[in-house]
Structure 1
Amino acid sequence: MNASTRTLCGMKTSTNQLAIEATGLRKSFGDKTVLDGIDLHVPAGSIFALLGPNGAGKTTAVQILSTLISADAGELRVGGHDLATDAQAVRAAIGVTGQFSAVDGLITGEENMLLMADLHHLSRREGRRVAAELLERFDLTDAAKKPASTYSGGMKRRLDIAMTLVGDPRIIFLDEPTTGLDPRSRHTMWNIIRGLVSGGVTVLLTTQYLDEADQLADSIAVLNGGKLVAQGTASELKRLVPGGHVRLRFDEPRAYESAAVALREATRDDESLSLQIPSGGSQRELRAILDWLDAASIEADELTVHTPDLDDVFFALTSPTSPAAPTTPATVTTAATALKENVR
């Protein structure tokens, strides 16, 4: 592969457009291999999600890319800087919010913000200005003078991210940012993350919530046992798993029988007068079904499309019998073929 370009989900992305680039990332603790030569390429201004079960290596990858621990091997660049030779420049370009809040509950929200401003060597006046702006941005102004220990879980997570933004990072690592939050607080956090990216920030997040990755991520990588087993958009990953179908339901038994005779590959449900046709849900397949119905002068009273969701993808890719897929995004078709053969 040419050093100046990398294939990502069918598109070529110049290396100078990549906020995060990891090639052959490896890490072991003792005799346990936690990351086994994974490749990650995250375009600037995007949301990239790492999925995987507990122990898959998600947090270790974030810790390495954010300079908290060192890799055993791999070529790693963050914000255009080489982690091996310019870790300080990487630290200046990033922000990190871990699984566990960095908020000090013994002091107020405002004092937590001012403490971060001091750590970033902002002047007293500039620190107060930045703190006030961020507290307002994250709807924490009314609680700014209260001890952080009195904050709800959602408020603490918002304060955590506000503290991360004091240094105006262009790349942010969010390690399971919504763990333990109620549904309303999770949706609030999603909107915050979207707002960050709309402002040009790149976000790499780890999560165990599949709907979170589906809602937020431009691209998703699935880790299992330290290996990258699949990578692509949510739509691409969903196509890895068989089981998609179109369901035709009929009110008239005669129309149902006519359709069932003609569509021999369809699965019948005589009780509900419905047919289930295997389909990936593409526009071309749907058009073909509709054209066939028109040509045969058969009218279905209801047409619904079912495509596998990320839950299906996750369970299929991380099951003990799942085949290990090649680790480059360009091999998503090969991974799909292997997985489908395994599931049959």
Structure 2
Amino acid sequence: MQASFDIRNEQGSVVVSASGSWERSSLASSSVSAGPLMDAALNAMEEPDVKEVRFAAPDLESWDSLLLASFNAVAREAVRRGLAVDTSALPDGMAPMLDMALAVPPSDQARAQYDEGFFESLGGKVLAIPGISRDVMEFLGEVTQSLTRFFTGRASFSRRDLWNVFRECGVDALPIVTLTSLLLGLILAFVSSMQLKLFGAEIYVASLVGVSMVRVMGPVLTGIVLAGRTGPSFAAVIGSMQVNEEVDALTGFGISPMDFLVLPRVLGLAIMTPLLTLYSNIAGITGGFLVGVLMLGITPAAYLDNTLSLMEMSYVWVGLLHAFVFGILIALCGCYQGIRSGRNASAVGRATTSAVVNSIVGIIIATSIITIIFTVVDI
């Protein structure tokens, strides 16, 4: 029996009925399709006396998702118009699925990206701030509880994952840290020598590069490198686990996702970032050393002596504090975006991008705050 449909108005109720075989393979050779059914139903709902939409399938032989999707589109439009929806006359396999689909509100995110005006979009972001702030505080509270369990020996995490994080954040990052730090030292030495030559004080290039790298530039550069390669990696891995429902599986097995996924990454990055910073400082000073010796004619002994003469241990500790804070910020941003990621590929991409942006902004803000504090206390 070929597919057919009937739309009629019975005393204020639009009855949408389908008969025959409503499968894609059957409709391919039929003149009936889902489009005319939905158009006719929507036109019938325009009548002023319509208060209800009823679905029926009196002689339905077979059906698939095409008919269900068509009924769902008509039902959602009815709900949007404030009309009642009755699915009691549908087959047992179709009615519960349609009711379940209607119980879940449609996602308007994609449409809103194109339909919202500037002020509407801005207002939505402002109104979302309290909810985001509450969510961030809940996440930080969960991380704090996880750290408490770790220090009391009750955290459930894999030590192998912790060592993998050490390797990913440490050994695997050495090439890019070496290159960027060496070039930064070269740039600092070359730019500063252009001005110091005017006063015949090229020798102070050594102390300028050394103090700059150790106190601020080394930690900041290392933090930005890790924010670009490690933070988004955390977000992508955990976000992919959200998509594959692996995080839900951990919860189902009684394993805390915060302990198993977030804790090793926070600890690993908090420990490895200061160590990488020390290495970055050496690489940056080496870059300045090459410029001083090869281009400015400073002897190696004089360069090293000038570097060490103005270097204070407090500068090293200040730099390591910067690095420690940066490591925690990068790990928290990456893990937060991953844990709170949506359950599709585009959501993982947005989480990865947000992890990079949030990490870099956090590094800049933290650097400003720490610098102001140490300037006030004269350290």
Judge same fold: TM > 0.5, yes or no.
Answer: no
Q: Which structure has more strand as a fraction of its residues? A: 1
Higher RCO (CA < 8 A, seq sep 6+): 1
Report the TM-score when normalising by structure 2: 0.22
Which of the two has higher C-alpha Rg?
Answer: 2
Report the TM-score when normalising by structure 1: 0.23
